[in-house]
Amino acid sequence: MMMMQDELKKAVGWAALDYVTPGTIVGVGTGSTAAHFIDALGSIKHQIEGAVSSSEASTEKLKSLGIPVFDLNSVDRLAIYVDGADEINDQMQMIKGGGAALTREKIIAAVADKFICIADASKQVQVLGKFPLPVEVISMARSYVARELVKLGGLPEYRQHVVTDNGNVILDVHNLSIIDPCALEIAINALPGVVTVGLFATRAADVALIGSADGVKTLTQ
């Protein structure tokens, strides 16, 4: 089963190459699906200028393949950002952050003209929230934010032994059934001490490449 799922991740990772314009800098996500996309990018590395990366792990992999990695501050425009998701609904809103890279992912997604989500079909849901919602928090605010998340109906759990690339901690919020993803994204973002909530709803994906046993399906807004 896991083997099959990885094949599906690989298929969508390589399918995303169709969206890469030669001569450009590509926004690159984090996780096992994004890792397949990085392998695919490696196969055309001489045709692209380079990448901006959403994590230390992806940066390391990009560099190991000889793909130049740029600081986002040196890039004015990104045509695409390609990344996986932990859950995606029919509106192409997502939960992300299973790999703790949500903040950098959200920043690069904001810069990119097009967000291309690559995921195997197991990530598709009707209602977001079965996957615990990651929230990156400044360490001193952890207990306060956790109490506020309880008021919003969630059961926050401190992700033990994890420090993000930005030096913060993660709360994973269980027990949510997210009927209005945009409203919840805005409400959690507004809590002092929250750096980023892993709801990508106000800025959803523009294209989703979904891998299933029948092949790669393309969904667009």
List of residues contacting ligand 5RP (CB under 6 A): 29-34, 83-86, 96-102, 105
Q: Of the two residues 84 and 156, which places its CB atom closer to ligand 5RP in the complex?
A: 84
Q: Least CB distance from residue 196 to ligand 5RP, whole Å?
A: 10
With 0-12 / 13-18 / 19 or more C-beta atoms within 10 angstroms meaning exposed / middle / buried, residue 220 is exposed
Q: Of the two residues 114 and 144, which places its CB atom closer to ligand 5RP in the complex?
A: 114
Contact yes or no for 82/31 (Cβ under 8 A): no
* Helix 32-42 vs helix 56-64: crossing angle, to nearest 10: 30
With 0-12 / 13-18 / 19 or more C-beta atoms within 10 angstroms meaning exposed / middle / buried, residue 62 is buried
Q: Least CB distance from residue 116 to ligand 5RP, whole Å?
A: 12
Phi then psi dihedrals of residue 31, to 5 deg: 125, 180
**Residue 60 falls in the annotated catalytic set:** no
32 is in an annotated binding site: yes
Q: Of the two residues 86 and 148, which places its CB atom closer to ligand 5RP in the complex?
A: 86
187 is in an annotated binding site: no
Residue with tokens 């209005």: 180
211 is in an annotated binding site: no
SS3 category, 216: strand
Q: Which of 169, 163, 179 is nearest to 137 (CA)?
A: 169
98 is in an annotated binding site: yes
Q: What is the DSSP string of 11-65?
A: HHHHHGGGGPPTTSEEEE--SHHHHHHHHHHHTTGGGS-EEEESSHHHHHHHHHT
Q: Of the two residues 85 and 169, which places its CB atom closer to ligand 5RP in the complex?
A: 85
Query: Which of the following is catalytic: 7, 49, 60, 105?
Result: 105
Q: Least CB distance from residue 134 to ligand 5RP, whole Å?
A: 7
Q: Least CB distance from residue 202 to ligand 5RP, whole Å?
A: 17
User: Hey, which residues are catalytic here?
Assistant: 105
Residues belonging to the binding site are 30-33, 83-86, 96-99, 123
Residues belonging to the binding site for substrate are 30-33, 83-86, 96-99, 123
